[in-house]
Amino acid sequence: LLRRKLSSVAFRSRVVQPRAIAARRAMTSASSATAESPRERRPSMDFVNVRDTRLAYADIIGEESLNGKLISAGPILERVDIFGAAVAENVARKPIATISVDRVDIKSQIAHGDLVRLEGEVIFTGRSSIAVQITGYRHDLETGRFMHTLSATISCVALDENNRPSPGLPALRHPQDPAYITQLQDMAAQRKDLAARWQTVQDTVDQLPRVTKDMIKPLDDDDDKLSFIPVPNTLIEVQNSFLPKHLNRNNTIFGGEVLTWMDKVALYCARNFTKNSNMVTVSMDRIFFKLPITMDDIVTMHARVCNVRRHHLEVEVEVFVGRIGTKEKNKSHTGHFTVVNLDRSYRKKRILQGLCVDENDQESMRTLLKAQHRWLFDEEEKKLLALEPLELSTVPTTPPSMLSRDATRHLQPVASHTSGSACKSTHNQNQTTAAKQPPASHMSLVRALTGTVRDAWRRRTMPAQVRARDTRMAFTEIIGDEALKGHLVRTGPILELMDVLGGSIAVRVALGPAATISFDRVDMVKPVYHGDLMRLEAEVISMTKSAIAIQCCGFRHDRASGQYQHTHSAIMTFVAINRFGRPQPGLPKLFDESRAEYCEKMRDTALQRRDLAYRWQQTQTAVDHLPFIASDAIEPAFVDEKTEFVAVKDTEIELRKWFLPKHLNINQTLFGGDLLTWMDKGALYCAQNFTKNERMVTIAMNRVLFKLPILATDIVTLHARVCSVRRYRLEVEVEVFVDSIESTGTRRSHKGYFTVLNVDENGHYKRINKGLQVDENDQEAMKTMLKAQKRWQFEEEEKHLLNLQPLDLSTKRGV
């Protein structure tokens, strides 16, 4: 049957009409879509409240090894591109392609380790184009306030199934303030006029027969320059090719990766010009996405200095793509980056180099003249593109409510975001390639039939029994960041490695896909440092019909003694799943003829763990059902040692992000290790924000439950709050919620509790002088603290059951 179905699909796929010709016309149509009149009449009269288009994004940015140091604009640009496309998709309900990043201004610098929040709102919709305003804030750990740091405007286009501009977007409306919509329309018309004049001036310079010296106006700062360099001598050329992890859902290179690379090269070009490494990008202007980039492309980037002021300079960046084996190159991206020169104290520093004005080099003269005209446009452009900052919102990330009921009937689910002009993603693919792609319905049928056969094969080949020692597996890895060698490593990377190891064992035992259900408990016995060689040992300790419990132990290699030291203990639970993502029963029984007593003990322990989990849950649920909690129900813990008390709600932080295809596992859902790392990072930042001490480390993780899978189309929100404070450590409750862009409603997907230790600069325990406020008027906070108190009472019993005898080091090599 499967052979006949596949043959039928193969036959029908030969007659699919090629779409490459239509795809080649897409960019021309998309460009015209961005130039349409702001007041142009639409074929449908669908509307959306402009305030309902608001979304928010928050994440801890940068690298741990560079905490406190200024971050380059690349990671910020990447997040602006992801976020802007998500705002546009939320309104369009169709695939989105980024056409341009019109302008990005960084008002104040952002450092590695900062919590950055982006607020985005649609400010214009045309027939198929959408303009999005984005405002960025950074959280100040000292004051606890958000500071305005970034303003950006990006333009996107909605696509149909043939990757051509798709008309029919809802118009913006503001029932309470119609004048605001008129203001946005007038602003869009002015932006369109400015863009047309800007492009006309640039084209006029290219058409000049000759550019003379008197056309280049000398700057007031030229007298301060010590040397002058020809424009060609500032050129930096780099070549690269991208990997599968850089692909978006449309199999083209994710636009954020290209933007990050452009900023990196622009910054290097500027540093090479001034011979100063203390430089940062402060603005990006007119970054155009003309062609997509695929894995088959060799990407060449040219960056050159085109304008030098007193403290700033402008770098022009051009990106060219060419297929492997061909000499033809096409320009895919262009943009202009403004970089500021700083001293070691991060104060502005005068640039002592200038650019040569040489009429014999007409190409350089045109470059200088166009940069001069761009500078004249700068003030007018700032007024139009750097809009009034969006205020911090408290609006949930639910899809916008359409004012017209008929509108919702025609809106299609979001298929993908194709940053980087994916509307022309087949620009180098011929008709034969397009014709070989079978319809999606046929591919779904093939996957369904293949999945059915695979599930049947698993049931027939599953053994009746499996020995515990045969499930043993080990991973060995040098962990952490080389730049932080000798410093304590966060728990996140270790959790990620544990999840990979446990998942590998579960898949091997289940003979097929398996999903993480929970991390019952993780305890740090000894600290692990960046640069340590770490070994993880894991094996199955119990199995039911479809669930697999795995014990995992971590060891670090001590170079002084040459011995492995036990550092971590963990118990994880996985479930075997079928092609529908449901539990797949029929797992073998666990036995070991040489360790019969051990297997019997593990079965008894599994029953005790199950009983403990039931009583633990009953206790937590009972607190939720209490009608009122009095202050005397909360036992005082080290109250005399606290000098300050904070309300529970004031300790909460919120992170919100979208995960990329590179974060997906083989089941096309978010890889559990990435989520655990993010949860640990959020818990750690919440604890640091509470104590105002950056030297904290996670020492335990309890009851991290995986309730729902997370897809690439989901908006993921993380809430973290302090719920218990002891003498040297505190507990942070972390909850993760998902909002699908394709449907309404928020659902909780993950929940867990992280214990964080407060230490000083020498790694010694440091007393926490702040406590939680007990207020009967805030019953939600009272329930949070009482449940934390109940969990603490379970601590000793839980440790006894979940902290098993450490596994011995195996003689097998680390996988």
One domain for residues 56 and 193: yes
One domain for residues 575 and 468: yes
pLDDT digits (tens, 9 = 90+) for 586-621: 899 888 777 777 777 777 878 888 888 888 889 999
Q: What is the pLDDT of residue 37?
A: 46
Least confident window among 6-15, 331-340, 682-691: 6-15
pLDDT digits (tens, 9 = 90+) for 533-546: 999 999 998 898 89
One domain for residues 277 and 400: yes
Calpha distance 353→269 (Å, rounded): 13
pLDDT-derived band at 437, boundaries 50, 70, 90: very low
Residue 131 tokens, joined:
């303009």
Q: What is the pLDDT of residue 414?
A: 37
One domain for residues 485 and 542: yes
The secondary structure of 15-48 as a DSSP string is TPPP-HHHHHTHHHHHHHHHTS-TTPPPSS--EE
Determine, yes or no, domain membership for 543.
yes
Question: Is the pLDDT assigned to residue 124 strictly greater than 70?
Answer: yes
One domain for residues 212 and 253: yes
Question: Is the pLDDT assigned to residue 363 strictly greater than 90?
Answer: yes
Between 761 and 268, the more confident residue is 268
Question: Is the pLDDT assigned to residue 385 strictly greater than 90?
Answer: no
Question: Is the pLDDT assigned to residue 269 strictly greater than 90?
Answer: yes
One domain for residues 419 and 467: no
Determine, yes or no, domain membership for 621.
no
Q: What is residue 425's three-state secondary structure?
A: coil
Q: What is the pLDDT of residue 800?
A: 67
Average pLDDT over every residue of 477-486: 82
Q: What is the pLDDT of residue 35?
A: 43
pTM for this structure? 0.74
Q: What is the pLDDT of residue 396?
A: 40
One domain for residues 368 and 269: yes
Least confident window among 39-43, 258-262, 355-359, 667-671: 39-43
Q: What percent of the chain has pLDDT over 70?
A: 84
Average pLDDT over every residue of 676-703: 91
Q: What is the pLDDT of residue 801?
A: 65
Average pLDDT over every residue of 83-90: 90
pLDDT digits (tens, 9 = 90+) for 733-744: 999 999 876 666
Q: What is the pLDDT of residue 190?
A: 86
Q: What is residue 694's three-state secondary structure?
A: coil
Determine, yes or no, domain membership for 123.
yes
Tell me, rounded to whole angstroms, the distance of Cα 205 from its chain centroid: 41
Determine, yes or no, domain membership for 617.
no
Tell me how far CA of residue 323 lies from CA of 62, 237, 245, 260, 295, in angstroms. 33, 18, 19, 22, 9
One domain for residues 362 and 281: yes
pLDDT-derived band at 552, boundaries 50, 70, 90: very high
Determine, yes or no, domain membership for 53.
yes
Question: Is the pLDDT assigned to residue 566 strictly greater than 60?
Answer: yes
Determine, yes or no, domain membership for 667.
yes
Tell me the residue range of the domain where 656 lies.
626-803
pLDDT digits (tens, 9 = 90+) for 751-775: 999 999 999 988 889 999 999 999 9
One domain for residues 120 and 75: yes
Average pLDDT over every residue of 264-273: 94
Least confident window among 136-150, 405-419, 511-525, 777-791: 405-419
- Of 554, 574, 594, the one marking the end of a domain is 594
Q: Residue 812: count other Cβ atoms within 10 Å of its Cβ.
A: 10
pLDDT-derived band at 297, boundaries 50, 70, 90: confident
Q: Cα dihedral angle (157, 158, 163, 167), rounded to 10 degrees? A: -110
pLDDT digits (tens, 9 = 90+) for 16-34: 333 333 333 343 444 444 4
Tell me, rounded to whole angstroms, the distance of Cα 397 from its chain centroid: 16
Average pLDDT over every residue of 435-459: 61
Q: What is the pLDDT of residue 743?
A: 65
CATH number at residue 396: 3.10.129.10
Question: Is the pLDDT assigned to residue 418 strictly greater than 80?
Answer: no
Question: Is the pLDDT assigned to residue 338 strictly greater than 90?
Answer: yes
Residue 538 tokens, joined:
């894991």
Calpha distance 787→790 (Å, rounded): 5
Determine, yes or no, domain membership for 604.
no
Task: Please classify residue 454 by burial: count the beta carbons closer than 10 Å to its beta carbon, then call 0-12 exposed, 13-18 middle and 19+ buried.
Answer: middle
Between 442 and 429, the more confident residue is 442
Between 83 and 67, the more confident residue is 83
One domain for residues 263 and 311: yes
Asked if residue 740 lies in contact with residue 669, where contact means CB atoms within 8 angstroms, the answer is: no
Tally the domains of the chain: 3
Strands 171-173 and 746-758: unpaired
Q: What is the pLDDT of residue 765?
A: 92
Determine, yes or no, domain membership for 375.
yes
Q: What is the pLDDT of residue 757?
A: 93
Residue 159 tokens, joined:
């696509």
One domain for residues 219 and 312: yes
Q: What is the pLDDT of residue 272?
A: 94
pLDDT-derived band at 406, boundaries 50, 70, 90: very low
- Residue linked to tokens 């010009």: 273
Quote the mean pLDDT of the chain.
81
Asked if residue 119 lies in contact with residue 390, where contact means CB atoms within 8 angstroms, the answer is: yes
One domain for residues 502 and 378: no
